[in-house]
Amino acid sequence: MKTVSLNLIVLAKQVPDTKNVTGETMKEDGTVNRQALPAIFNPDDLCALELALTVRDLYGGTVTIMSMGPPRAVEILRDALCRGADRAILLSDKLFAAADTLATSYTISKAIAKLGMPDIVFCGRQAIDGDTAQVGPQLAEKLHVPQATYVKEVRLEDGHLRVTKDVENGYEILRIPMPALLTVTAGIQPRPPAVKRLLKYKRLKTIFDLQSELKQKYPEMSKEELERKTEEEARAFAERDLLIPVWTAEDIGANSERIGLKGSPTRVKKVEGVILRGGESKLIPATEAGIASLVQELKAGHILS
Amino acid sequence: MAENEVWIFAEQEDGVLNSVALELTGKARQLANELGAKVGALLLGHHCEALAKELAAQGADSIYLADHPALRYYRTLPYARVICDLVREHKPQIVIYGATVVGRDLAPRIASELWTGLTADCTDLQIGDYDDPFTEKHHDQILYQIRPAFGGNVIATIVGPNHRPQMATVREGVMKLVPADNHRPFQTIHVTPKITDAEEVVEIIERHRTEREVDLRKAQIIISGGAGVGSKDGFDLLRELANVLGGAVGASRAAVDAGYISKAHQVGQTGTTVRPRLYIACGISGAVQHRAGMQESSKIIAINSNPDAPILSIAHYAIIGDLNQVIPMMIRAYRGH
């Protein structure tokens, strides 16, 4: 039933795998050493991608995957293309660094404005590094579109979205006009990367890849020459559909007061490692007598009645 | 005048306040006392005025009541419209929300419209001074928003020195309920919502609600099991102890992921945060993500056969042994008296 052509955008984040924090990945001051953790596709964002691909497969259209992050975040874009996305864009600029959720949503809204307003924006419910779940609703506001969060299912019904979303003790079905933004809840099984696409997209490059490769190949080359050669290469890759575009703050026309640390109203005052309280523990022998005296003590202290 | 107010969003559904609304009011009262400020509660809905006195009993001075058919059920756009308008008019210095499905949908939408900061899922709020290293400005008495981050592996203190209101969502169950004072005076401020067609574009077609299978937040005694329980049937022994002591059964993520018990029982950062009078951790190693959800319990007993299990060091009473032997001993000891 491919009657409409939907323009779909999926936002994804590359995150440190916080579920695998071990002793070795903790620094001496008790904070986490991000570099020591593997970088992965944020799990909820994979669910968002899957839901977008399902919608595209049902109704027709294109899925664009977009990520804001350092150059290496291109890894998840490549992964998304292999799973079926049609197009990828990386937002990367040192000026974006240390953005909080508000500055991030502003930045992404500018990139979407450059791209043209899609019919649906899909985000994961939350990212495992911050667990804030804020960028989705903030972006919806910046784009002036309605939102639905914790979405499990979406269908098209006479030009509107019919969305099933989780609420505290149950679920609701909403009717929402397009364009709209949906944040997708965990629990949707993403499709695996397709082998044919893996072969095609492993040659994908960004401008960063080309730059560093040329630098390595021609260490003596002047800066101007290197720039010229990089541009030449980039054009050749783009012609073969093998270049992932990288957009900077300038490309998207972002106000420098609104991005990165400068554009972030929140500040991290202090970060502490979680330390075990310890020290006040009382060892109770695992014997009838030991347990009986513990129960007695709890009763005396009105902990047990 | 309201520039000197601390506000809370009083989430309600079908005429019943979410318990987090009462927890927030108590916390706001404490913050307001430190700041010499007043507490305002935002009560949105239809025919819900009766809830005002419950909020007042927890410490609210003013109830901003927006009663309108369009606000009967929670929808993002009308609720955000009303609250943004109220904030612009009255300029409270702090607004806090429960970190519920509704609060996490609403608060970021409002923060974006108001261009102010928002910290998600706080487990504590405090008032303190802040010296901004960037502007070198000193800020008196601002809101410290304290939350676990990085999968619960670190605790971060976040501030929003240059933007008002300072906003945060707060986890359910972490702020202590204060005893209700039904004689506190309060005023109800009737608000006329300005809801236009633009906020009415989303329609709720169906609502489905199920009873909570278990409400751990209300339990005073919780018997929790982890991977060490070993099987689905293994939880029967924990249920028996819970019956005897009059408690509820909880679980760690490991036990839930292993399929021993349903997710509704999960305690921890991705489950329910609890602070019962007594928490008995059986066969739970004590991952950070679990501890984040239970370490505020008044008394903790840990039963574990592994003497190196981290849970033993945060427990008030550590029992190194097999839970299948220790739990029956507890039942016998309790019944014996």
Chain A partners of B334 at a C-beta cutoff of 8 Å?
295, 304
What CATH number did the domain enclosing A83 receive?
Answer: 3.40.50.620
Number of domains making up chain B: 2
Please indicate, yes or no, whether residues B176 and B288 belong to a single structural domain of this protein. Answer: no
Please indicate, yes or no, whether residues B317 and B225 belong to a single structural domain of this protein. Answer: yes
Whether A85 maps to a domain, the answer reads yes
Please indicate, yes or no, whether residues B295 and B321 belong to a single structural domain of this protein. Answer: yes
Whether residue B205 and residue A175 make contact (CB cut-off 8 A), yes or no, is yes
What CATH number did the domain enclosing B301 receive?
Answer: 3.40.50.1220
Last residue of a domain, one of B172, B200, B228: B200
Nearest chain B CA: its distance from A95 CA (Å): 16
Q: Torsions phi, psi of B304, nearest 5?
A: -150, 140
H/E run at residue A221 = none
Whether B211 maps to a domain, the answer reads no
What is the arithmetic mean of pLDDT over A160-168?
94
B38 touches B62 (CB < 8 A) = yes
pLDDT at residue B125 is higher than 50: yes
Whether B207 maps to a domain, the answer reads no
Whether A289 maps to a domain, the answer reads no
Whether A224 maps to a domain, the answer reads no
Please indicate, yes or no, whether residues B86 and B166 belong to a single structural domain of this protein. Answer: yes
Instruction: Kindly identify which residue of chain A lies nearest to residue B135, measuring between CA atoms.
Output: A262
Please indicate, yes or no, whether residues B295 and B155 belong to a single structural domain of this protein. Answer: no
Last residue of a domain, one of B154, B173, B200: B200
Number of domains making up chain A: 1
Chain B partners of A272 at a C-beta cutoff of 8 Å?
154-156
Please indicate, yes or no, whether residues B107 and B20 belong to a single structural domain of this protein. Answer: yes
> Helices then strands (H, E): number in chain B?
9, 18
pLDDT at residue A279 is higher than 60: no
Please indicate, yes or no, whether residues B138 and B95 belong to a single structural domain of this protein. Answer: yes
Chain B partners of A273 at a C-beta cutoff of 8 Å?
153-155
SS3 category, A124: strand
Residue of A128, A296, A303 for testing the chain B interface, max B β-carbons within 10 Å: A303
Q: In whole angstroms, what is the distance from residue A111 CA to residue B191 CA?
A: 38
Please indicate, yes or no, whether residues B28 and B125 belong to a single structural domain of this protein. Answer: yes
Confidence of residue A26 (pLDDT cuts 50, 70, 90): low
Average pLDDT value for chain B: 93
Whether B35 maps to a domain, the answer reads yes
Q: Rounded to an integer, what is the distance from CA A230 to the centroid of its chain?
A: 29
Q: Give the alpha-carbon dihedral of B223, B229, B234, B236, to 10 degrees.
A: 0
pLDDT at residue A178 is higher than 80: yes
Nearest chain B CA: its distance from A30 CA (Å): 8
Whether B120 maps to a domain, the answer reads yes
pLDDT score recorded for residue B174: 80
Chain B partners of A167 at a C-beta cutoff of 8 Å?
101-102, 209
pLDDT at residue A278 is higher than 70: no
Summarised one tens digit per residue, pLDDT across range B13-32 is: 999 999 999 999 999 999 99
What CATH number did the domain enclosing B44 receive?
Answer: 3.40.50.620
Whether A140 maps to a domain, the answer reads yes
Confidence of residue B3 (pLDDT cuts 50, 70, 90): low
CA distances to A138, A179, B273 from B71, in Å: 21, 23, 29
Whether B130 maps to a domain, the answer reads yes
Whether B209 maps to a domain, the answer reads no
A23 lies in which domain range?
6-204
Please indicate, yes or no, whether residues B122 and B231 belong to a single structural domain of this protein. Answer: no
Chain B partners of A298 at a C-beta cutoff of 8 Å?
278, 299
Whether B288 maps to a domain, the answer reads yes
What is the residue type of B53? Answer: K
Instruction: Kindly identify which residue of chain A lies nearest to residue B120, measuring between CA atoms.
Output: A132
Q: Rounded to an integer, what is the distance from CA A189 to the centroid of its chain?
A: 17
pLDDT at residue A41 is higher than 60: yes
Q: In whole angstroms, what is the distance from residue B94 CA to residue B43 CA?
A: 16
Whether B12 maps to a domain, the answer reads yes
Whether A302 maps to a domain, the answer reads no
Whether A130 maps to a domain, the answer reads yes
Residue A213 CB: number of other CB atoms within 10 A?
A: 13
Summarised one tens digit per residue, pLDDT across range B281-337 is: 999 999 888 988 898 888 999 999 999 898 988 899 999 999 999 999 999 999 885
Please indicate, yes or no, whether residues B106 and B66 belong to a single structural domain of this protein. Answer: yes
Q: What's the pTM?
A: 0.85
What is the arithmetic mean of pLDDT over B144-151?
85
Nearest chain B CA: its distance from A107 CA (Å): 12
Which residues, other chains included, contact A58 with Cβ-Cβ below 8 Å and sequence gap of 6+? Answer: A1, A155, A156
Please indicate, yes or no, whether residues B45 and B89 belong to a single structural domain of this protein. Answer: yes
Average pLDDT value for chain A: 91
- Region at A144 (left for phi over 0; alpha for psi -120 to 50; beta for the rest): left
Whether A101 maps to a domain, the answer reads yes
CB pairs under 8 A between A and B: 243
Confidence of residue B1 (pLDDT cuts 50, 70, 90): very low
Whether residue A264 and residue B113 make contact (CB cut-off 8 A), yes or no, is no
Please indicate, yes or no, whether residues B143 and B186 belong to a single structural domain of this protein. Answer: yes
What percent of chain B has pLDDT above 90? 75
B25 lies in which domain range?
2-200
Chain B partners of A176 at a C-beta cutoff of 8 Å?
201-203
